[in-house]
Structure 1
């Protein structure tokens, strides 16, 4: 069995329980992805790793045709009985290669990316690729109902193909509920994301600037990598300006987000569109409420007024209002939202649901 994704760390950080379950079931698991520092960790689990050369950003006909040929060559050499795929290019060009090699293929639509935010022409190209790649697949997993319904409505998949998952699931033991920081002092907001425009970083900065000007007792923290391979990436110079202005505290990157979330009162994600935002799910599992944009993905995790607050997308003023409203709550009210968020993760987002869905799919395919 092959699992393919656009970064090995994605498997380690988000799919490790699934990988472990597949290994426990007796499957031989090969990870096909670009090499990074998590490869030894994956091999330590019992996986085989095969490096995949690919350009992760943008749609380029020439490089994407080369990528499809690479997939076809890898599948021919590995001869898997099943390929499980995650992330856009692996889903699209992996599916096309698997079809030509007559190999079973199950993609997981973890999000639609900038192609569905970049205008009608780019979206039309993306839809044509999806329609071609997914046409004959027996099953396509989606991480939120809006994406599933969009694909069905646009005839990119048939209703019988589409199956819904609660994101990639969350390990509720690894992300155990943490005591809420109820001491006095400022409300600590934390945004965890790649530093790209489409995650709403600029809106977060503008909202933080406004609240600091108003004298609201709040801190604004930012955690996530610079240098993302994305056309909306934010450069280091811009980040240094924000730091010099004293708007945010930037914490770089980390292998373990739990201490940062535990120290915060609220997780913030004003993204333009998501699949199933991992940071909101991890925050909720640890018992932290959220302020997020009212868009696909975010609003499937955050329940307005119960587990957090939703703001208008691309609207820094409305985000500032929601952050102000949250900061004005008593610590007890904030903690109650966090408790409700944890309870929802226990009911709906356990990784066990995801693992069972994959086991059922594998059984159906007779692999």
Structure 2
């Protein structure tokens, strides 16, 4: 049980197929199924189930009523185990499942989110209040879980240990897995060296640092290319505006192709992948770039630092530090052999840590628990 249908298809598809292959009946919950996405989930072998919840709303009455509705859905379906992931589903989905009498609930936090992200610009009163509310909700819901799964080593320290939360069992998974055949190795081009950013165009993802470092680097190395893939979110106060982005494109600072479906094809065009984020769970985009043999520049923050062994497969820089980011870019431009050697090491690490078959084996073991009966029904 997560949020969007796109997430179910893109990030849970392989898990669903593996569960179905083992004889499990899978119900895949999402907020926004349409005819097309429902058909795609059905093709994976799962039963798509719509549910109602506000992804980012702060209406306690609405959340309470939606939790009761979700409880009734669980009671009607009668799953043996529920997997909840992302913050709101872990909190309210867990409560609803236990109210419905589900015996086993496993939660997965793929990151702590912007509420727990240290912004170089400082923390607002609103952020502190939201963090307090979320910790209070976690204090009530996390003890109801059989197991809580994290993707990196920092998150359990910054959540469970820091706030003294009670959790029965916790595990660091280290990534949600990739199809390494789809994201296969290709030798990177180095003439010119091309940098790639993939992510929502938000401040906390480091887009401002990326475009400013691109501007500085272009002054020294005008032939260098800077690609940007990701959606605009102009309603977010930290989002890059369309006007700002188009101005950067007009000035030849960055290239922005708009919405693209074939991300691997764009990774193939890149020499080095860049993610200057302020905090992540364990970034899928970085794993994809590593699997395809791309060196990485990312920040020395939770989640991001897990993907890079500095100067083996990439370079770590401080969050919010434009000059350090530009210096790292210049280092690759001046030493193009590192693009190739670090890219090969990234592929090796991806094969060792991020193979979806190995990751799914661990997840399925947690879901099946001590009893591996093939008749279990799972809700993801």
**What is the TM-score when the length of structure 2 is the normalising length?**
0.89
Pairwise CA distance, 1:280: 0.3
C-alpha distance after superposition, 1:54-108 (max 9, x if no partner): 3222544233333323322321222211111221211111011112122121111
Whether the 8 Å CA contact 2:95–2:144 is kept in 1: the answer is no
Pairwise CA distance, 1:131: 1.7
Where 1:149 maps in the other structure, the secondary structure is: helix
Question: Matched residues in 2 for 1:327 and 1:59: separation?
Answer: 46
Question: Matched residues in 1 for 2:354 and 2:222: separation?
Answer: 34
Cα separation, partners in 2 of 1:343 and 1:78, compared to 1, 3 Å: same
The equivalent residue for 1:107 is 107
Question: Matched residues in 2 for 1:55 and 1:106: separation?
Answer: 21
Pairwise CA distance, 1:28: 1.1
Q: Is it true that 1:143 corresponds to 2:151 in the alignment?
A: yes
Pairwise CA distance, 1:362: 2.6
Unaligned runs of 5+ in 1: none
C-alpha distance after superposition, 1:264-289 (max 9, x if no partner): 00111001100010000000001111
RMSD: 1.9
Choose from 306, 311, 323 the match for 1:305: 311
Cα separation, partners in 2 of 1:114 and 1:177, compared to 1, 3 Å: same
Where 1:134 maps in the other structure, the secondary structure is: helix
Pairwise CA distance, 1:230: 5.1
The equivalent residue for 2:15 is 18
Q: Is it true that 1:98 corresponds to 2:97 in the alignment?
A: yes
The equivalent residue for 1:360 is 365
The equivalent residue for 1:51 is 50
Question: Matched residues in 1 for 2:135 and 2:272: separation?
Answer: 36
Choose from 342, 347, 355 the match for 2:352: 347
Whether the 8 Å CA contact 1:288–1:339 is kept in 2: the answer is yes
Whether the 8 Å CA contact 1:175–1:285 is kept in 2: the answer is yes
The equivalent residue for 2:78 is 79
Question: Matched residues in 1 for 2:245 and 2:62: separation?
Answer: 31
The equivalent residue for 2:116 is 116
The equivalent residue for 2:247 is 241
Question: Matched residues in 2 for 1:293 and 1:365: separation?
Answer: 39
The equivalent residue for 1:333 is 338
Where 1:258 maps in the other structure, the secondary structure is: helix
Cα separation, partners in 2 of 1:275 and 1:228, compared to 1, 3 Å: farther
Whether the 8 Å CA contact 1:87–1:109 is kept in 2: the answer is yes
Question: Matched residues in 1 for 2:237 and 2:53: separation?
Answer: 16
Pairwise CA distance, 1:132: 1.2
Where 1:175 maps in the other structure, the secondary structure is: coil
Q: Is it true that 1:152 corresponds to 2:149 in the alignment?
A: no
Q: Is it true that 1:163 corresponds to 2:171 in the alignment?
A: yes
C-alpha distance after superposition, 1:173-193 (max 9, x if no partner): 2211112224x3x21000000
Cα separation, partners in 2 of 1:66 and 1:259, compared to 1, 3 Å: same
Higher relative contact order (CA 8 A, sep 6+): 2
**What is the TM-score when the length of structure 1 is the normalising length?**
0.92
Cα separation, partners in 2 of 1:317 and 1:67, compared to 1, 3 Å: farther
Question: Matched residues in 2 for 1:155 and 1:177: separation?
Answer: 43
Where 1:29 maps in the other structure, the secondary structure is: strand
Choose from 173, 176, 191 the match for 2:184: 176
Cα separation, partners in 2 of 1:141 and 1:234, compared to 1, 3 Å: same
